[in-house]
Amino acid sequence: MNLHSVSVRASLFALLVTAFVALSVSSLHAHGGIYTGPPDAGAPVSGDGGGNAAPTNPGGSAGPGPGASARPGTGSSPSSKSGRRGDKRGGSDRPGSNTGGEFEYSASYETWEFWWEANKDRFLDLKERLNTTTNASGSFGVLTGRGVHTAAFSSRRPTADMIRRDVIPVLRGLLTETDRDIIDSAALAIARTADTDDSAMILQDLIPFLQHGEISVQTSTTLALGVYGSPDSAGFLREILADGTEGRNLVGGGAVPWLVRAFAALSIGLIGSPESVPSLIDVIENLSDADRDIKVCAIVGLSLLDEAGVDDAVAYLTGKLDDRRLDATIKSYIPTTLGKLGRREALEPLLASFRSRDTNGLVRQSVAIALGRLAGMQDDAVIEALTDYVREGKDMQTRHFAFISLAKIGARDEEPGIRAEAHAELLTLMSREITKPGRKTIRSWAGLAGAIYGREHASARPILIERIAAAHEQERDPSYRASFAVALGILNARSLAPRLFQDFEDSRDPELQGYTAVALGFLKHFEAAGSLRSRIKDKSTSPTFRLQCATGLGLMGDEQAIDVLIDALQAAETLGESSAVAKALGLIGDRDAIPPLNRLAQDSKKNDLTRAFAAVALGIVGERSDLPWNALVREDNNYRARVPAMDEVLDIL
């Protein structure tokens, strides 16, 4: 069957508008409790996007924060009369709210942990690590030199044939279940693992679920169509986004729920069809700001484009920077999208916005992030503006984002010798703020900035490692100390691994221990593997700490972690535990996890939530791309500008 043909598309559509989807609905509260995070996310969430509070996770944080993510699929829609859990249909009847003024901050959002959790995927890059090296035995074996571990070098990542043969049939079978969490999880897992050459079969499986009676299944399916990435589904998604007759028929009749429309906009961007660009621009231009979630997801959808359509998107969004009537939260997504689109013609208007006194605080934060993606060390005006803000800026979050951007700009420079003076000034700035900061809170950000910069410039590493190691030794605050540990891990300061391991063993602070575990993973300190495994086994270990220990083991390539985590998933009693273990199994990504996860997902004697998370883990293990599908959305995103739809996306495992 060829879905490229018009006749087949028509027949599929006929199937959709006439099919009766009779899947019973589980009442299990699988998507967790509510943790709203700091209340100052740049805009009040109340009354917007269909919810009084952003959907969040019980693992310890809202989507972008340091806690383990909690949703097997997309989670429930935000709680409101138009998108309540268990509602048959969502809607878009909520009032909008304009947040053009300034706002107060909570210290918690300014901490480095929020930035790290949103941007860590590219640093961890665990799937790529599986392609090059693995600890074959997971035990210490023969030690040579100063703790150098003898490791086997071979790929442990599952092949496309393994996924097609061993994973896809299991996931397709789960679509016949009645529990919504299992369906949610299986749909997204199929989307992230299945070969796009199989689009006819996959779309036949997924598209009927757009008519499901549960909003969470509808939203999961809509997002799955984008994650799968087949151009064959772009037309369906455009109809859903437009909320016209055909789109309403696709979802079973009635107005398309607001969250489904928002995810359709994001999915259109994930597919990247150039003919979809006008549809996204039309939504941004013509919908009311009350439909904030849909407009934001349309802007973010534009950020995901490849080359096709980028010129039109950049021209349009650059013009919108001067739109003073546009809701500030919506507008704050424009700079980060321009940064991700990568066109330097946006640099001058972004810099003007950064310097303008009239620029809203949220928007300026986003501009600081965008400048870090677009500028080079040759752009003196940008370097000066960011440096001045780091030194004297009033908004601490913008100072932090500006510091990271300076580090990224410097790290990208492939010819630092040509601009040696500028690099020396940047190194001096980082060194000073690590040891004698103007504001103490910036120390952790300076350490991270130094790690980002020093990772790419070997000549800078000795001084940065020396300063960060001294700061780590002297620091007593667990959060700052943890940031220095992660920075040392990124800089591959192998000689300091024993000291960090001692810190891990001696500390009683789970946050410090967790991030130190990640650092030990970066440093390949195999002597710590047994201790990290024991913390995973310990029932008293928090979900976030368990995930961080597993991440450390994944960075080491420790194969024994698979059995430990499978046991932990089967024994998990809470949503937080299940989500952390599933995420950990996926992050490690070893092909040996597939058989036990298959058995667990298919075991009808297990509770539905455990089976759903087994499906989640299968999806992450078998993901086609090196990075998680939503890493491109998470990274360089201004997580202060919260809207429920984006919270939902950022919180998905």
Q: What share of the chain is helix, strand, coil (3-state, %, to 5)?
A: 65, 0, 35
Residues 506, 39: Cα–Cα separation, whole Å: 34
Q: Which of the two residues, 473 and 588, has the higher pLDDT score?
A: 473
pLDDT value of position 129: 67
- Is the residue at 403 inside a domain? yes
Q: Please report the pLDDT score of residue 575 as a whole number.
A: 81
Summarised one tens digit per residue, pLDDT across range 209-231 is: 999 999 999 999 999 999 999 99
Confidence class of residue 592 from pLDDT cuts 50, 70 and 90? confident
Inside any domain, residue 21: no
| CA separation for the pair 533, 462 (Å, rounded) | 32
Domain hosting residue 471, numbered range: 377-479
Q: In whole numbers, what is the pLDDT of the chain averaged over residues?
A: 82
pLDDT at 4 over 70: no
Q: How many other C-beta atoms can be found within 10 angstroms of the C-beta atom of residue 142?
A: 7
What is the model's pLDDT at position 410?
A: 98
Q: How confident is the model at residue 569 (pLDDT cuts 50, 70, 90)?
A: confident
Using pLDDT thresholds of 50, 70 and 90, give the confidence band for residue 324.
very high
DSSP character at residue 165: I
Q: How confident is the model at residue 125 (pLDDT cuts 50, 70, 90)?
A: confident
- Distance between CA 488 and CA 470 in Å, rounded? 11
* Residue 459 forms part of a structural domain: yes
Give the three-class secondary structure for 135. strand
Mean pLDDT of 258-286: 95
Tell me the C-alpha to C-alpha distance, in Å, between residue 310 and each of 194, 272, 284, 550, 635.
27, 10, 16, 39, 19
Residue 218 CB partners (closer than 8 Å, separation 6+): 90, 209, 210, 211, 212, 251, 257, 260
Asked if residue 419 is part of any domain, the answer here is yes
> What dihedral do alpha carbons 428, 431, 432, 436 form, nearest 10°?
-170
pLDDT at 130: 61
The continuous run of DSSP H or E covering 585 comes out as: helix 575-588
Confidence (pLDDT) at 145: 30
Which whole number is the average pLDDT over 582-597? 85
- Tell whether 435 is covered by a domain: yes
Q: Which amino acid, 555?
A: L
In a domain, 471, yes or no: yes
Do residues 191 and 209 touch, judged by C-beta distance below 8 A?
no
CA distances from 35 to 53, 63, 78, 255, 641 (A): 9, 10, 12, 30, 17
The pLDDT value given to residue 501: 98
Asked whether residue 552 is domain-assigned, the answer is no
Q: Is the pLDDT of residue 536 over 80?
A: yes
Residue 26 has a pLDDT of 31
Residue range 245-254, pLDDT digits in tens: 999 999 999 9
| Average pLDDT score over residue span 401-427 | 96
First to last CA, the chain: 32
pLDDT in tens, 35-53: 233 334 333 333 333 332 3
Name the more confident of 128 and 284: 284
Tokens representing residue 283 in the block: 């939504």
Binned at pLDDT 50, 70 and 90, residue 132 comes out as: low
Give the pLDDT score at 157.
Answer: 84
| 410-414, 572-576, 622-626: segment of lowest average pLDDT | 572-576
Q: How far is CA 448 from CA 139, 435, 464, in A?
A: 31, 13, 10
Task: Work out how many domains the chain is built from and give that number.
Answer: 1
If you average pLDDT over residues 540-550, what whole number do you get? 91
Residue 574 or residue 466, greater confidence:
466
Of 134-143, 369-378, 488-497, the range with the lowest mean pLDDT is 134-143
Q: Is residue 3 part of a domain?
A: no
Is the per-residue pLDDT at 23 higher than 70?
A: no
What pLDDT, on the 0 to 100 scale, is given for residue 90? Answer: 37
CA distance 199 to 2: 9
